[in-house]
Amino acid sequence: MENCIFCKIVRGEIPARKAYEDDRVLAFHDIHPQRPTHLLVIPKKHIDSLAQATPEDEAVLGRMLAVSQQLARDNGSPDGFRCIINTGRVGGQEVAHLHMHIVGGPDPVGPMLKKI
Ligand code: AMP
Ligand code: ZN
């Protein structure tokens, strides 16, 4: 994906504060953190969103979750954290490369959704 901003981060074409990397996933700090800990975990392979994931993506989706606990612990959120995957228009997804937010810090991140 030529112009995808997160693919560019994977290829090293734009900088990011990397927190973890392996053969399938990359984690880096969100550029506009909304909590003291705010990381993004992405598949290195481009997938538009969770709505486009296929059974072949099971391994990478599992990896994204599996690395979250250590990432949170190592980045200022030892007592728990929240994973968020915004998906598509309804989910409020802004960057069209599947990504999981890990948010946390010393204090509770707050209610899950604003009441409507
Ligand atoms: P979402 O609304 O779930 O699509 O979230 C996209 C997230 O990507 C936002 O929290 C942005 O702050 C973050 N973001 C956008 N561009 C970059 C970048 N170049 N490096 C790190 N985080 C980014
Ligand atoms: Zn991409």
> Residue 72 C-alpha to ligand 2 middle, in angstroms?
23
Digit-coded pLDDT (tens) for 28-63: 999 999 999 999 999 999 999 999 999 999 999 999
Q: Give me the catalytic one of 32, 97, 99, 101.
A: 99
pLDDT mean over 79-90: 98
> Where along the chain do its domains lie?
5-104
Percent of the chain at pLDDT above 70? 100
Q: Ligand 1, closest atom to CA 34?
A: 10
Specify the higher pLDDT residue, 64 or 116: 64
Question: Helices (DSSP H) in 19-113: which residue ranges?
Answer: 58-66, 68-74, 88-91
- Rounded to the nearest angstrom, the gap between the alpha carbon of residue 27 and the centroid of all alpha carbons in its chain is 7
Q: Is pLDDT of 115 > 80?
A: no
Model confidence band, residue 114 (pLDDT cutoffs 50, 70, 90): confident
Q: What's residue 94's pLDDT?
A: 98
pLDDT mean over 94-114: 96
d(C-alpha 41, C-alpha 82), whole Å:
12
Which regions of 1-116 does DSSP assign to beta strands (E)? Answer: 18-21, 25-29, 37-43, 82-84, 100-104
Q: Is pLDDT of 81 > 90?
A: yes
29 labelled catalytic: no
Handedness of CA 105, 68, 33, 51 (dihedral sign): negative
Q: What's residue 53's pLDDT?
A: 98
CB atoms within 10 A of CB 52: 13
Query: Which residue has tokens 């975990």?
Result: 41
Domain over 5-104 is classified CATH 3.30.428.10: yes
> Residue 46 C-alpha to ligand 1 middle, in angstroms?
15
Q: What is the mean pLDDT of the chain?
A: 97
- Residue 100, token pair as written in the block: 């999981």
Q: Give 51-71 as a DSSP string.
A: GG--GGGHHHHHHHHHTHHHH
Pocket test for ligand 1, best of 13, 17, 30, 47 (most atoms within 8 A of CB): 30
